[in-house]
Amino acid sequence: LPRHVRPALPTRAATLPREILKAPQDTDYRSLCALYAKAAQTRSDVNQACFLATQAYVFALQSNHPLTEHLHSFLKNHGREE
């Protein structure tokens, strides 16, 4: 993600699953978007990255997140979105 839209997140990838599991309890869609986008960045497998980016995109749409356009472009570039 571009530096100017990167959210402040835990730096260790190991903490991401715990944060992702915690966030839905609060229905904090902005945080969920950021967490899934960060998790997508950590994947070397394009299918896994696209799956996580899709989840991030859904939450981005729900929260009018600044990452919405970037996530849409990423998914479009990988044939997952029109």
- Is residue 18 very low, low, confident or very high in pLDDT (cuts 50, 70, 90)? confident
Angle at 56 between CA 20 and CA 31, to 5 degrees: 50
Give CA–CA dist 48/22, Å, rounded: 21
Q: Provide the token pair at 10.
A: 């835990």
**Model pLDDT, residue 23:** 62
Tell me the pTM: 0.71
**Model pLDDT, residue 82:** 86
**Model pLDDT, residue 3:** 46
Q: What is the mean pLDDT of residues 20-38?
A: 81
Task: Share the mean pLDDT of the chain.
Answer: 83
- State in Å, rounded, how far the first CA of the chain is from the last one: 20
